[in-house]
Amino acid sequence: MIRKATAKDLDKINLLGETLHHNFKQLFNIQKEIDNSFAIVLINEDNKEINAFLYALDFSDNIDLLSIVVESEYRNKGIAFNLIKYLMNEYCLTKSITLEVAVNNFNALSLYRRLNFKVVNVRKGYYHGVDALLMRWEMKDIYILAIESSCDETSIAIVKNGTTVEAMTILSQMDTHANYGGVVPEIASRMHTENITLVLDETLKKTNINIVDVDAIAVTYKPGLLGSLLVGIEFAKTLAYVYKKPLIKVNHLIGHIYANAIDNKLEFPLLALVVSGGHTELVVMQDHYNFKLLGATLDDAIGEAYDKVARVLNIPYPGGPGIEKKALEGKDTYKLPRPVLDETYNFSYSGLKSQIINIVHNAKQRNELIREADLACSFQQAAVDELVRKLGLALQNTGIKNVIVAGGVSANKYLRQEIKKVSEEYNAKLNIPDFIYCTDNAAMIGAAAYPIYLKKDFADFSLNAESHANIC
Ligand code: KG4
Ligand code: ZN
């Protein structure tokens, strides 16, 4: 059995290490390294006896494999092979592994060649006069075909290594739903059914990658409109079944977060501000898929507030972009009080929304004109100021230096500008996705599916849709 080493295993590891180097303990100081988050120390044990260990350093885009020792009577049993395979499978968010081996160490050379390591350099006289070969193993590129159909966009993308968008198509039903003032669920599902094959065709036309060559099929399965989700899920299952590909289920909200991994590397720990139609959340990520909720909306989500305010101001669906446009023509003259001035990380938008509705209704009753652009601007500033204040509070209290923004409202330019200011104030590195990846799209689903692919955490064909979900 292979597992991560703990401090209890140290004595045995050092004993084994000394069969390799007489001063192993001084050379490597594994004691210190076990506590070091960069170090990977794996051991193999049979019948509770440790008989091999592997020691490597993880430099995030490359693992340096420093040492691998198997007790003499356990050699030629594939233990070293399995230890390296384990390293590749469990730690291969890192793209490559490098190591040095003496040219005359034929057993090791043959092992590394079997594992697909290639010689990249020679180090003359590296081991007491014997040349060393620098060898490297590269993980192959992973292509994920991703499908998003949770609301009113049918989108399919092919994403390489969770970061590069090879091709993407988004077919928006916005114009149809605008006639009804919002998304009509049944129409949305019917339109997904009509369009999804065409969207796949369009996407495949944009790339040389053939569907038979993709490594997995990913699909949004929650949250969203059930009928819409089911169209995407069934389509994904059919492709996975026909082409014999693993199926990956993705939470749409996590998809929005991973829009930040497109053409970018997520650096942890980070603070993620999620601002969508259904969610307003402040989340800490210590690592991939490691989420801790700091705060969330107590009532309406910020996107929902934008949409409802748009409605009373007769701004057509979708409300967010409409309010943003209107606000540009106005000034913050209504001076709305800021929502919930407490020191928690929670948000509240229903009070602000009700205030706007009251202002509009009262004006109507008194036959007064509403300065719509000013009201839109005042609403936007009040809504965004609260987000920015809470983000500032979190940056100050946690000391975290990386910020990402996720969800449809992150397309808002005023929000982007204000978040940039507060991030700069706290010397934090900010990433906001390109506009195209802020609102619903399949590329973000492909990006979010990649860490799941690496963990081989595949879904089976009983996968079903769920209308509600949170990030954590
Ligand atoms: O993330 P998203 O596309 O869908 C959900 O998963 O909810 O977010 C949709 C929300 C809607 O409320 C929409 O009005 C808002 O994002 N939105 C915007 C802007 N673009 C989209 N809100 C403010 N300004 C925008 N430019
Ligand atoms: Zn969304």
For the chain, what percent of residues have pLDDT higher than 70? Answer: 97
Q: Mean of the pLDDT values across residues 208-225? A: 97
CA 150 to ligand 1: nearest atom: 6
- For residue 185, the CA-to-ligand 1 centroid distance in Å is 17
Percent of residues, the chain, with pLDDT higher than 90 = 82
Give CATH 3.40.630.30 domain extents, the chain: 2-137
- Classify domain 2-137 at the CATH class level: alpha beta
pLDDT of residue 340: 54
Report yes or no: 134 and 100 within 8 Å, Cβ to Cβ. Answer: yes
Quote the CA–CA distance of 10 and 347 in Å, as a whole number: 48
pLDDT at residue 60 in the model: 75
Q: Among all chains, which residue has been given the structure tokens 């991994």?
A: 261
At residue 32, the pLDDT reads 67
Question: Using CA atoms, how far apart are residues 255 and 75, in angstroms rounded to an integer?
Answer: 45
User: So what's the pLDDT on residue 401?
Assistant: 97
State the CB neighbour count (10 A cutoff) for residue 117: 23
Which segment of 283-287, 329-333, 343-347 scores lowest on mean pLDDT?
A: 343-347
Identify whether 185 is preceded by a cis peptide bond (ω within 30 of 0): no
Sheet holding 280-287, edge to edge: 290-296, 280-287, 270-275, 402-406, 429-431
Say what the pLDDT of residue 339 is. 58
Mean pLDDT of 423-428: 98
Q: pLDDT tens, 435-446?
A: 999 999 999 999
- Could you give the angle at which helices 372-398 and 319-328 cross, rounded to 10 degrees? 110
Query: For the domain bounded by 270-433, which CATH number is listed?
Result: 3.30.420.40
Q: Which pair of structure tokens corresponds to residue 147?
A: 């499908």
What is the homologous superfamily of the domain 143-261+441-454 according to CATH? ATPase, nucleotide binding domain (3.30.420.40)
Is 255 near ligand 1, meaning CB less than 6 Å away? no
The ligand whose atoms approach the alpha carbon of 277 most closely is 1
- Share the mean pLDDT of the chain: 93
Residue ranges of the chain assigned to CATH 3.30.420.40: 143-261+441-454, 270-433
What is the C-alpha end-to-end distance of the chain, expressed in Å? 32
Ligand 1 lined by 277 (C-beta under 6 Å): yes
- Would the pLDDT of 23 be above 70? yes
Confirm or reject: Cβ of 232 under 6 Å from ligand 1: no
User: What is the per-residue pLDDT for 25?
Assistant: 77
Which pLDDT tens digit goes with each residue over 107-139?
Answer: 999 999 999 999 999 999 988 899 999 999 998
Among 276, 380, 415, 434, the mutation site with the greatest number of ligand 1 atoms within 8 A of its Cβ is 276
CA distance 395 to 273: 11
Predicted TM-score (pTM) of the model is 0.85
